């Protein structure tokens, strides 16, 4: 019996259309009214996204076609990791027990099962790939990954809830990632952590870290501060730097802003203070929004110095 493509049901046609190139899809869509509808159906774009890029997630308010278009602008997987789709709520289920087990342990009990060293400070990890559920330190996870030819493992640093893709070589769902990736990671982590108070607390901290990293980019970069506001604040450069480094490591600051260091004997802003320091005390400049946020969140030792009260040459 001759094969007639018109006799295929819509599901199969969607599947076929999902394997076509954009040009072929255009041709496909002008064959007949039914094909035209299938070519424009979002399910077809979902298939295309998966077949062409391996991506299986999107923002809830986006269509699959929109996600396909986003992914077309990311050929090197710098913003939308295709390997992350291998981790789903379901595939994370077997890891929940070990995750909760680790976060509820006392500090002396954070030993890696491979090297037997204590890793309370640096944090234990889970290597998420096909139910592999052993609790390793970061170094042992890297070594384990090196032996897994062709596998796309994702590393989860348990205490800070950072997800790292070995294949893309970057943290997932963080500042450089696409919104859809950030959303998907957040959803996975919410599911992983929601069974325990400690887990939920960790997720709140992770979200705060990401929020503050965003603020760091927009509100402490010299050029954008100077162009966005006539009034800015001086902040101890070392404190700001330490705050940022901790955020990159998934941690919040632990001490109040140390602006006391910028003070001279009279309690005024030290006239020798310079933007980049050198032999003198150094400051950075931040927007009023970031300044107020940091003071409210971490506290302040020393004074608040607003630019309108000082004349400085900002080199």
The least distance separating Zn ion from the CB of residue 23, rounded to whole angstroms, comes to 28
Q: Which is nearer to Zn ion, 88 or 258 (CB)?
A: 88
What Å distances lie between residue 224 and 150, 176, 208, 257, 287, CA to CA? 42, 18, 22, 22, 9
Look at residues 131, 120, 204, 194 and name the one whose alpha carbon lies nearest to residue 159. 120
For residue 192, what are the CA distances in angstroms to 42, 88, 174, 177, 250?
A: 29, 10, 18, 21, 17
Rule CB under 5 A: choose which of 112, 185, 188, 209 binds Zn ion: 112
Single residue of 55, 128, 163, 168 touching Zn ion by CB under 5 A:
168
CA angle 223, 275, 246 (to 5 degrees): 80
- 156, 165, 210, 290: which one binds Zn ion (CB under 5 A): 165
Among 118, 167, 229, 270, binds Zn ion (CB under 5 A): 167
Residue 140 binding Zn ion, by CB under 5 A: yes
**Burial letters for 129-152: b for 16+ Cβ neighbours within 10 Å, e otherwise?**
beeeeebbbbebbbebbeeeeebb
What count of other Cβ atoms lies within 10 Å of the Cβ of residue 173? 25
Q: Which stretch binds Zn ion (CB under 5 A): 19-27, 120-128, 135-143, 229-237?
A: 135-143
Near Zn ion by CB under 5 A, which window of 58-66, 132-140, 244-252, 261-269?
Answer: 132-140
CB of 149 or CB of 296, closer to Zn ion: 149
**Is 99 or 234 the residue whose CB approaches Zn ion more closely?**
99
User: Closest distance between Zn ion and the C-beta of residue 163, in Å?
Assistant: 10
Q: Report 32-91 residues binding Zn ion (CB under 5 A).
A: 81, 83
Strand boundaries in 56-215, DSSP class E: 125-128, 135-136, 154-157, 162-165, 170-171
Judged by beta carbon, residue 165 or residue 209, the one nearer Zn ion is 165
Question: CB of 261 within 8 A of CB of 281?
Answer: yes
- Closer to Zn ion by CB, 117 or 292: give it: 117
Q: Which of 204, 217, 305, 218 is nearest to 257 (CA)?
A: 305
* Contact with Zn ion (CB under 5 A) among 48, 124, 137, 210: 137
DSSP class per residue in 47-85: HHHHHHH------TTS-HHHHHHHHHT-TT-SSS-SGGG
Select 2 or 75, whichever has its Cβ closest to Zn ion. 75
Region of 100-108, 158-166, 186-194, 212-220 interacting with Zn ion (CB under 5 A): 158-166
Q: Which residues neighbour 264 within 8 Å (Cβ) at sequence distance 6 or greater? A: 270, 271
Report in angstroms how near the CB of residue 109 gets to Zn ion at its nearest: 14
Contact with Zn ion (CB under 5 A) among 115, 217, 231, 245: 115
How many of the chain's residues bind Zn ion (CB under 5 A)?
10
Note whether 290 binds Zn ion by CB under 5 A. no
Q: What is the contact surface with Zn ion in residues (CB under 5 A)?
A: 81, 83, 112, 114-115, 137, 140, 165, 167-168
């Amino acid at each position: 019996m001759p094969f007639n493509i018109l006799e295929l049901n819509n599901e199969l046609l969607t599947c076929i259309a999902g394997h076509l190139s954009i040009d072929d899809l255009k041709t496909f869509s002008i064959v007949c009214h039914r094909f035209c509808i299938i070519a424009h159906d979002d399910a077809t774009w979902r298939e295309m996204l998966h077949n062409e890029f391996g991506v299986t997630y999107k923002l809830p308010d986006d269509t699959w076609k929109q996600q396909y278009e986003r992914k077309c602008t990311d050929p090197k997987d710098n913003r939308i990791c295709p390997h992350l789709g291998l981790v789903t709520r379901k595939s994370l289920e077997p890891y929940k027990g070990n995750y909760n087990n680790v976060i509820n342990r006392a500090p002396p009990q954070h030993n890696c099962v491979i090297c037997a060293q204590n890793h309370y400070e640096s944090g234990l990890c889970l290597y998420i790939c096909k139910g592999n559920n052993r609790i390793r330190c970061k170094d042992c996870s890297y070594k384990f990954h090196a032996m897994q030819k062709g596998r796309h493992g994702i590393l989860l640093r348990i205490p800070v809830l950072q997800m790292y893709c070995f294949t893309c070589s970057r943290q997932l769902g963080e500042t450089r990632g696409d919104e859809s990736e950030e959303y998907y990671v957040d959803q996975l982590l919410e599911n992983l952590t929601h069974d325990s108070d400690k887990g939920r607390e960790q997720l709140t901290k992770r979200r705060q870290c990401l929020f503050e990293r965003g603020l760091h980019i927009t509100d402490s970069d010299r050029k954008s501060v100077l162009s966005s506001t006539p009034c800015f604040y001086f902040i101890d450069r070392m404190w700001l730097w330490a705050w940022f480094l901790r955020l990159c490591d998934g941690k919040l600051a632990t001490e109040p802003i140390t602006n006391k260091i910028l003070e001279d004997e009279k309690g005024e802003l030290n006239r020798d203070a310079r933007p980049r320091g050198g032999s003198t005390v150094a400051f950075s400049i931040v927007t009023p929004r970031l300044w107020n946020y940091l003071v409210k969140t971490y506290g302040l030792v020393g004074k608040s110095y607003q630019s309108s009260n000082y004349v400085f040459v900002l080199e």
